[in-house]
Chain A
Amino acid sequence: MDEIFGIPAPLLFGQLLLGLINGAFYALLSLGLAVIFGMLNVINFTHGAQFMLGAFVAWAMLNFLGLGYWWALLLAPIVVGLFGVLLERTMISKLYKLDHLYGLLLTFGVGLIIEGLVRNEFGSSGLPYRIPPELSGAWDLGFMFMPVYRGWVVIVALVACIATWLVIERTRIGSYLRAATENPALVQAFGINVPRMMTLTYGAGVALAAFAGVLAAPIYSVNPQMGSNLIIIVFAVVVIGGMGSILGSVLTGFGLGIVEGLTKVFYPEASATVIFVVMAIVLLLRPAGLFGRA
């Protein structure tokens, strides 16, 4: 059997692929964060809780309304996104004129409150959510056994990332968004409702988090702390990619997923730490991040 660095090649390919799948989650979550930071200048620490809410809304739809996975994939992001809109209107919008730190503290606090409320209501060990029958089963790739659902996650995440990038870079509304990021007063002077645009941007970022949450529900344990476990890594991804850079966060998300996957073969104990080592190195060499503008 061929070996690479003493590791059987099939095992290594398997880990690369799994790394890519985890990277899809990182990319999807960091994308929402980057969009929100780029536009609102708010570091959205509620993102993990909103990801978790996506999964819980999917569970609630199934158990209380009988709506399955496909409906949840469509509706849960809308429900959680509307909650985001409400949050932005009533609280976050009051802090735009202040230092970043206030937005960070507010969203961090709101995140903890949401997590605590959900834990009180549903407990901490989580709820069952099954893979939809259309996507269960697996392909035998020769070097590993690949569940259909994981393949679906990568494809959907890629589509969502590309679509978001296209909307922001190639459409009229995207150009307004980018202009408002540079100079909100001027854009407002052209008769564009900048506050509303910001609200919708926040809602869309939150919806992306909830979308990732629904995608995660069948494969990860649906519990109140599922977001906080992931969100620290996702913040590192955003920092490494360059705060607010959309392309940066997507590429870094997939890249770091792979780095983490490889670490799981060579030195498993460090697989939770390796991303932060990369972050420290990147910040030392390129403080603005890999794709950020200094």
Chain B
Amino acid sequence: MSEINRRGLLAGAAATAAFGALPVWQARAQAQNTIRIGVLNDQSGLYRDVNGPGSVSCVRQAIADSGVTQRGINVEVLVGDHQNRPDVGSNIARQWMDRDGVDVILDVPTSSVALAINTVVRERNKIFLNSSAATSDLTGAQCSPNTIHWTYDTYMLAKSTGGAMVRAGGDTWFFLTADYAFGHALERDTSNFVRAAGGRVLGGVRTPFPGTDFSGFLVQAQASRAKVIGLANAGGDTINSIKQAAEFGLTRRGVKLAALLMFISDVHSLGLETAQGLVCTETFYWDLNDRTRAFTQRVLPSMPNQLRPGMGQAGCYSAVIHYLKAVADMGAQQAKASGIETVNRMKAMPTDDDAMGQGSIRPDGRRIQPSYLFEVKSPGESRGAWDYYKLLQTTPAEEAFRPLSEGGCSLVRS
């Protein structure tokens, strides 16, 4: 017998021995007790700091804090980079669910990708827990019995930030809108609030996404003589808009900027010198209360670049805690069997965790909780690293989000 053949035989024998050691029934039982969570977000582009690896850290923290492992339930985490492209995102999600046995798709920023995943998950009766996408269509016209929209949405941002700006006298608006599903939804929802409050929308531009130079658009906004420039964009687009608005002296001459979606990492990137005085709306701030501080303390060591968690990431933590409660309640096997059943169980229980506090999930899949309107502190007011926000106003959960009857969701029976 030649050397190669003998080695081949030995390897074969070893493999047989290994399989023999683990009886088939035991392997199957283990698979049935294993929950697979696929974190699908932007790992390498402009939204990376807002969700990215930070969301994964929060998910792992949630699994550790939930204590399900001690009850014999294994939880595996898969991570995917959708590059903010609906085609890439849907492909990964399909592969995960069809081949790798993933039960939950989690996070998914970028509204265009989220809407695509929403359909893919529903077709397979799995679970879609969306934390980081903004479009209110996820619980409106495109709502699904398999989806829970966890952290925030365009309606809630528009109501809190938009409403506050109009009340402060900003009754004429011009929009800089990122030219995709998210920007359009945010512009639409904010315009409705501005008009309802007696304000007027004087115009707007759809800006290519992602953009670098916004000065041309800002000059158009200024020419409209609107009192408020609504930034219906996010991430690097928002940062560039704010930076360049300051450069072109818009803010100094009394024009107000409404950063309709701004995360704490954006403020960190701008620096307080440029960002001071801006208002924004979030559902989580690390320094909000003792529970959020405790949560931040626990997760901080594993956060990339020592970033404080933002609301999208905190939402991932909260969603996983709640999902695993339902799994522990139903048993892993049953929780894996039907996405709709598990989502219904989640809807039946109130949510409660350190990061997002108490909340509840409505029949249309919207999780509701209070929203917070913050103002960015000036460098003089800030007492230390990441001390960026002061709380201006809290909107109670029942008022913060779009009323159940107005979303046009087919799951809501009138």
Q: Which residues of A contact B212 (CB under 8 A)?
A: 220, 226, 229-230
**Residue in contact with B305 in the complex, picked from A122, A145, A230, CB distance below 8 Å:** A122
CB pair A272 B269 closer than 8 Å: no
CB pair B179 A123 closer than 8 Å: no
Q: Which residues of A contact B223 (CB under 8 A)?
A: 8, 10-11, 14
In the complex, A81 Cα to B112 Cα: how many Å? 40
CB pair A126 B239 closer than 8 Å: yes
**Residue in contact with A271 in the complex, picked from B44, B208, B263, B273, CB distance below 8 Å:** B208
CB pair B44 A264 closer than 8 Å: no
A268 interfacial contact with B, CB 8 Å: yes
In the complex, A119 Cα to B274 Cα: how many Å? 23
Nearest CB in chain B: distance from A264 CB, A:
4
Given contacts A220-B240, A221-B236, A230-B212, contact A128 B269 (CB under 8 A): yes
CB pair B265 A19 closer than 8 Å: no
Residues of chain B from 344 to 376 with CB closer than 8 A to chain A in the complex:
none
Most chain A Cβ neighbours within 10 Å, of B47, B207, B263? B207
Interface size bracket, A side? 35 or more
B171 interfacial contact with A, CB 8 Å: no
A196 interfacial contact with B, CB 8 Å: no
In the complex, A69 Cα to B188 Cα: how many Å? 41
A287 interfacial contact with B, CB 8 Å: no
Q: Which residues of A contact B208 (CB under 8 A)?
A: 268-269, 271-273
Q: Binary interface profile of A, 128-146, with partner B (CB < 8 Å = 1, else 0)?
A: 1011000000100000110
Interface size bracket, B side? 35 or more
In the complex, A130 Cα to B272 Cα: how many Å? 11
A30 interfacial contact with B, CB 8 Å: no
A124 interfacial contact with B, CB 8 Å: yes
Q: Which residues of B contact A147 (CB under 8 A)?
A: 247-249
B119 interfacial contact with A, CB 8 Å: no
Number of A-B contacts (CB under 8 A): 121
CB pair B216 A125 closer than 8 Å: no
In the complex, A188 Cα to B330 Cα: how many Å? 79
CB pair B211 A272 closer than 8 Å: yes
B315 interfacial contact with A, CB 8 Å: no
B276 interfacial contact with A, CB 8 Å: no
Q: Which residues of B contact A22 (CB under 8 A)?
A: 213
Nearest CB in chain A: distance from B250 CB, A:
8
Q: Which residues of A contact B265 (CB under 8 A)?
A: 123, 125
**Residue in contact with B248 in the complex, picked from A15, A119, A138, A264, CB distance below 8 Å:** A138
Q: Which residues of B contact A8 (CB under 8 A)?
A: 223
Q: Which residues of A contact B49 (CB under 8 A)?
A: 123-125
CB pair B236 A126 closer than 8 Å: yes
Q: Which residues of A contact B274 (CB under 8 A)?
A: 128, 130
CB pair B217 A124 closer than 8 Å: no
In the complex, A116 Cα to B271 Cα: how many Å? 23
In the complex, A59 Cα to B265 Cα: how many Å? 18
Q: A-contacting residues of B (Cβ < 8 Å)?
A: 44-50, 52, 179, 205-208, 210-213, 215-217, 219-220, 222-223, 235-236, 239-240, 243-244, 247-249, 263, 265-266, 268-271, 273-274, 304-305, 307
Show 5 A/B contacts (Cβ-Cβ < 8 Å), sorted by A.
A14-B216, A125-B46, A128-B274, A147-B249, A269-B208
Q: B-contacting residues of A (Cβ < 8 Å)?
A: 8, 10-11, 14-15, 18-19, 21-22, 116, 119-128, 130-131, 138, 144-145, 147, 149-150, 218-221, 223, 225-226, 229-230, 261, 264-265, 268-269, 271-273
